[in-house]
Structure 1
Amino acid sequence: MAHTFQVTVDSAAPHDLADWWAEALGWEREPSDEAFIRRMVNAGHAAESDTTHHRGALVWAVGAAIVHPEGTAPRMLFQRVPEPKTVKNRVHLDVRVGREQIEAEVARLVGLGARELHRGSQGPSTWVTLADPEGNELCIS
């Protein structure tokens, strides 16, 4: 049986990190269903403290998601956690832009707040490992 999945990233500031990754990947923020959130709060299934506002929209405080504009990739969920990132990721995203676009993409992402960690190569393959604004690793290849 085949399964679907989403990629979940722990975050100190999930709405800001979701914005960063949406810009980095050219994806879209999953829209907030403000009416649903209000209904949950009004019915007592959630508290006002479970919500916040981000860029003028009422959102769940605990997380935010981004989606591929054509729906052809797994959803990415950014969830709030209390602890900071302290060690290297065991899983990371490889963003494949093609050899001729690596330098331009690295420069663009660094301009958005990424930090270059190191460069690697194996045979004909080359990549640059970056960290997003919260330190999560990703590779550009």
Structure 2
Amino acid sequence: MPRASEIFNIAFDAADPRRLAEFWAVALGYQLEPPPDGFGTWEEALVAWNVPEADWDSASAIIDPRGVLPRLLFQKVPEPKTAKNRVHLDVRGWRYGAGGEVPPEAERLAAAAAKVAELLAAGATVVATVEEYGNTWTVLQDPEGNEFCVT
């Protein structure tokens, strides 16, 4: 039987990879990826790998501290974002209960509002709040204008 493919990165184009990595670490509860084993810092690793200093800011990554969810890679590109995203992330502000139960609506809305406030402080901007078919979510943009939703 063939082995199923797995996601090892979700890659984002960016003007400032480190800034976007820091933003999305806050948004998702991730952490900046630590340097590889044997290196105290990323700079030590890049020097050892003979990466020119001009390229040191070409990428940044964040990882799920639990080691469960995919790594997010932010890679520098020369061109700016020019159109609406074709793919975006949805961020849930609330958590399931210990038994897997969905919290009451008021609790979910309060948690989503708190997450939106946290992300605004981290550099997001609000595009719109949408109420549709009994659901409510907020559309935001990250510091480089990439749209995402918080529910």
Give TM-score scaled by structure 2 length.
Answer: 0.78
Change (3 A) 1:47 1:108: closer
How much has 1:34 moved relative to structure 2?
Answer: 4.0
Superposition misfits of 4+ residues, deviation over 3 angstroms: 33-36
Matches within 5 A, 1:60-99: 61-98=57-94, 99=108
Among the aligned pairs, what percent are the same residue?
Answer: 45
- Corresponding position of 1:118: 128
Greater share of residues in strand: 1
Specify the SS of the correspondent of 2:69: coil
Q: Structure 2 counterpart of 1:81, which letter?
A: V
Instruction: Measure the CA separation in 2 of the matches of 1:24 and 1:50.
Output: 26
For residues 54 and 122 of structure 2, what CA distance do their matches in structure 1 show?
A: 30
SS in 2 for 1:129: strand
The alignment covers a number of residue pairs equal to: 128
Alpha-carbon shift at residue 117 of structure 1 (Å): 0.5
Return the alpha-carbon distance in structure 2 between the equivalents of residues 20 and 126 of structure 1: 23
Q: CA RMSD in A?
A: 1.5
CA–CA distance in structure 2, aligned partners of residues 15 and 50 of structure 1: 13
Structure 1: state its 5+ residue gaps.
52-60
Segments of 5+ residues of structure 2 without an aligned counterpart are 36-41, 95-107
